[in-house]
């Protein structure tokens, strides 16, 4: 009974901050749906307008919970969108190209971060966000990094930058595909292997054809699946630092275990399309709420202290990944065949 009472008190204490983040997420979604623009970016900016609530005792606990607990739950639910069969249907060439692109971008991001005088975690955060799935990857990787104010500010700046670049890519990459006269199959690999956010991948694909949109989405979902080994690698790399910061230390974070379980359940055909779509929608809502909370925890003044280098890092990573995938496509179409 005492544990139940303690859990009830904890839940009650979280509600004001959690509801604050939810209201910000709802307002941001309304703006995005009625006036256009990226939902994640609106959630971040609106949240930052309420930064004063981060220090308010009544809302602080719930805001912290939304920025971490709700975030991890949302990342776990991403697994409901993926099956092993979808990945296998892509073929060996595109799979190898995407895997190599993720690894190369992570390495490039880490090396460039050092050249720019930034830290290793910032390089992994920027490189991983670009290499895998934009804002969602940034949030998942941040959950595995050492917790400090600098990494938190870098996370927010990464979310803003990759969201903006993903929107630009949705418009620019179809023009590049037509200019280079890529085949429909390779156009789909280009979009799915480079654009940061799933929604923008779908949008770019439909600018060519519904078939390109469908295949590009499968390629993109495979990139999302690579979140598991990447976050596991990062979690193991910073295991000792997280232990020193009183963080729970596990071989595989629980939200990644949930991600893997949902992939396996979905692959076994135990999730209907309706359930999978519902879990995917819930996942996105959780991530929007988490970004809203992260926005509340960050001020514009603090964000300015990060400097120009992280933005340059993410832009360079984006260009590197695009060139890498285009180079791989050339090999697949003209050399390997």
Rg (alpha carbons) of the chain, rounded to whole number: 20
Q: At what angle do helices 309-330 and 149-179 cross, to 10 degrees?
A: 40
The Cα 226–Cα 83 span in angstroms is: 13
CA distances from 302 to 51, 156, 163, 209, 291 (A): 11, 11, 20, 43, 16
Three-state SS string over 229-288 comes to HHHHHHHHHCHHHHHHCCCCCCCCCHHHHHHHHHHHHHHCCCCCHHHHHHHHHHHHHHHH
pLDDT given at position 249:
43
The kind and range of the H/E element at 159 are helix 149-179
Nearest to 126 by CA among 114, 138, 116: 138
Q: What angle do CA 38, 146, 67 make, to 5 degrees?
A: 40
> What pTM does this model have?
0.74
pLDDT score at 203 = 79
Q: What is the pLDDT of residue 105?
A: 95
Distance of CA 138 to CAs 84, 127, 129, 159, 275, Å? 24, 9, 5, 7, 26
Residue 120's pLDDT is what? 83
Any idea what the Cα angle at residue 101 is, between residues 96 and 102, rounded to 5°?
A: 105
Pairwise CA distance, residues 134 & 194, whole Å: 10
Residue-wise burial string across 66-86, b where 16 or more C-beta atoms lie within 10 A, e elsewhere: bbbbbbbbbbbbbbbbbbeeb
pLDDT given for residue 304 in this prediction: 66
Report whether 130 contacts 105 (CB < 8 A). Answer: yes
Q: What is the pLDDT along the chain (337 residues), one digit of tens a residue?
A: 556 666 667 778 889 999 999 999 999 999 988 988 778 778 888 988 898 888 888 899 999 888 878 878 887 888 888 888 878 888 888 899 999 999 999 999 999 999 988 888 888 899 999 999 887 888 888 878 877 777 777 887 888 888 888 878 888 999 999 999 999 989 999 999 999 887 788 778 888 888 888 888 888 888 888 888 888 888 887 765 555 554 544 556 677 788 889 989 988 989 888 998 899 889 888 888 988 888 888 776 666 666 778 888 999 999 999 999 999 998 877 765 5
CB 321, CB 112: distance < 8 Å: no
- Give the integer Cα–Cα distance in Å for 84 and 167: 29
């Amino acid at each position: 009974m005492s544990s139940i009472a303690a859990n009830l008190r904890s839940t009650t204490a979280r509600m004001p901050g959690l509801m604050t983040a939810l209201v910000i997420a709802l307002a941001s979604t309304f703006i995005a749906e009625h006036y256009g623009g990226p939902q994640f970016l609106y959630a971040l900016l609106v949240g930052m307008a309420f930064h004063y609530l981060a220090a308010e005792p009544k809302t602080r606990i719930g805001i912290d919970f939304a920025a971490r607990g709700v975030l991890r739950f949302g990342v776990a639910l991403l697994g409901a969108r993926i099956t092993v069969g979808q990945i296998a249907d892509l073929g060996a060439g595109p799979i190898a190209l995407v895997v190599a692109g993720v690894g190369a971008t992570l390495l490039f991001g880490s090396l460039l971060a050092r050249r720019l005088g930034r830290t290793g975690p910032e390089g992994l955060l920027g490189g991983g966000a670009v290499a895998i799935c934009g804002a969602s990857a940034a949030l998942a990787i941040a959950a595995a990094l050492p917790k400090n104010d600098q990494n938190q500010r870098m996370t927010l700046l990464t979310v803003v930058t990759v969201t903006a670049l993903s929107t630009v890519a949705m418009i620019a990459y179809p023009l590049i595909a037509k200019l280079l006269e890529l085949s429909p199959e390779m156009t789909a690999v280009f979009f799915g292997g480079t654009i940061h956010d799933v929604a923008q991948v779908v949008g770019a694909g439909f600018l060519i054809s519904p078939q390109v949109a469908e295949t590009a989405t499968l390629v993109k979902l495979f990139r999302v699946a690579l979140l598991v080994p990447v976050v596991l690698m990062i979690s193991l790399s910073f295991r000792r630092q997280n232990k020193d910061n009183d963080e729970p230390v596990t071989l595989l974070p629980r939200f990644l275990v949930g991600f893997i379980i949902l992939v396996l359940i979905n692959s076994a055909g135990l999730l209907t399309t309706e359930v999978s779509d519902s879990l995917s929608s819930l996942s996105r809502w959780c991530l929007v709420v988490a970004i809203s909370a992260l926005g509340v925890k960050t001020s514009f003044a603090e964000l300015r202290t990060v400097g120009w280098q992280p933005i340059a890092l993410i832009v360079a990573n984006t260009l590197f990944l695009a060139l890498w995938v285009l180079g791989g496509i050339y090999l697949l179409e003209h050399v390997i065949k």
